[in-house]
Amino acid sequence: MKILDSGTKSDIRALFSFDATDTEQEFLLKFNLWGRHFFPKFYKFKDADFHKDIDKYNYRVYRGEDLKYFIDIVFRGGAKTTRTKLFIAFCISNDSDHSRKFFKILTKDIANGKQVVTDIYNLLLSINSYYPEIFKKTDEKKEERMDSFTTFTGIKMRAGTVGTDQRGQIQEDARPDFIWFDDFETRKTLRSAIETKTIFDNMEEAKTGLSRDGGCIYTCNYFSERGNVHKLVLKKNNPKTKVLIVPIKFEGKPMWDYYNMDIINALEKDADDFSGEYMCLKPTTLILTKEGWEEISSLKVGDKVITHLNRERKILQVFERNDNELLDITVNGEIVTITKNHPVLTIRENIKDWIPAGELTTDDLIYVIPLGKLIV
């Protein structure tokens, strides 16, 4: 702390510098000190435990030794995007080995990707007096959205879109060695099976365009069984993949002190789809297993259930729900309770599609599993 209070700029830089000899613990300590020293506005509230996990797994993907893919599914407003921006800015500024030379951010909306690039550029520019070699000339802070920049140390960052075929990127003069997929799935994309598949194919293609030791981070917060986030979670059996799933509350308590229950209740009241990123059934709802129908409240992580495709899958996470997030739907005389965003396989105007439960009408026909109460 004495160095931070009274040291020279060179002393402070030396304090935060890291290379391949630094341990994970040393790196994380330096990153958190650096962030709080230069950007205290992002640390007004005490970190939650999941923030430490985000930092840890971002670091392990950056190192690329035991982790290649990190699927970061934290509730909207959980600071996962800000945390990742700070992480990349820290690495560009302080990695004396320059072990990652090409960062790529891919989003559904290119404007979001450009904003991320601009934000990281501005973070770096704001500390340029400490790191003059990053940008040799002093520019004014750029507020417009930019799609790329290159530092004088040779580090590139570029924005792109998951809606664009990525095969041509493999032919570039340099392959990205760190890809960040952010905001790649929304309720709108999930309405189209074709668009959902195209996005997944493009993300997979982008992965093949990584350098040999490259890695990917996925930041997302929207769950649907027909969506790409769900596909990524199901592929977590890869030993070099880590999945982190964090709801805004669990067992009636906020997962981060930044949110109290009054704030969370207000979000539930005002949000169009508060429950989009969480699980969705009442404790008494019946779920099909190999042993028969079981109440969802009796199931736990690791238990296996039968999906609408007649596949047996393990439960990956269990979340608590509130009654005001749920709908009661009557099907063939049976009442089924489900959240507004839960996809229901439906025939509407002779077209089979997945429709959010909150958008169903009495004119729709839906598929059901016989001898039980579960809409599929």
pLDDT reported for residue 361 = 82
- Please state the φ and ψ torsions of residue 245, each to the nearest 5 degrees: -125, 120
Lowest mean pLDDT among 91-95, 98-102, 360-364: 360-364
275 token code pair: 């429950």
> Residue 368 above 80 pLDDT?
no
pLDDT confidence tier of residue 281, bands split at 50, 70 and 90? very low
Q: Alpha-carbon distance 305 to 311, whole Å? A: 8
Lowest mean pLDDT among 11-25, 182-196, 231-245: 231-245
- Tell me the domain boundaries of the chain: 2-246, 278-366
pLDDT tens digits, 318-358: 655 455 556 667 766 666 666 666 667 788 877 777 777 77
Q: Which CATH architecture has domain 2-246?
A: 3-Layer(aba) Sandwich (3.40)
Q: Alpha-carbon distance 332 to 185, whole Å? A: 34
Burial class (CB in 10 A: 0-12, 13-18, 19+), 267: middle
* CA 353 distance to own-chain centroid: 26
CB 155 within 8 A of CB 101: yes
Amino acid at 212: R
Q: Alpha-carbon distance 320 to 224, whole Å? A: 17
pTM: 0.75
Rounded to the nearest integer, the mean pLDDT of the chain is 80
Q: What order do you get walking across the sheet with 148-150 strand by strand?
A: 148-150, 156-161, 102-107, 178-182, 215-220, 69-74, 241-246
Highest average pLDDT, of 59-68, 160-169, 295-304, comes from: 59-68
Q: Right CATH number for 278-366 from 3.30.420.10, 1.10.630.10, 2.170.16.10, 1.10.357.10?
A: 2.170.16.10
| Residue indicated by tokens 């949110």 | 259
pLDDT reported for residue 375 = 34
pLDDT tens digits, 165-200: 655 554 445 789 999 999 898 777 877 888 888 999
Q: Alpha-carbon distance 224 to 229, whole Å? A: 7
Question: Dmax over Cα atoms in the chain, in whole Å?
Answer: 76
pLDDT reported for residue 342 = 67
| Residue indicated by tokens 């002093």 | 138
Enclosing H/E stretch for 60: helix 49-63
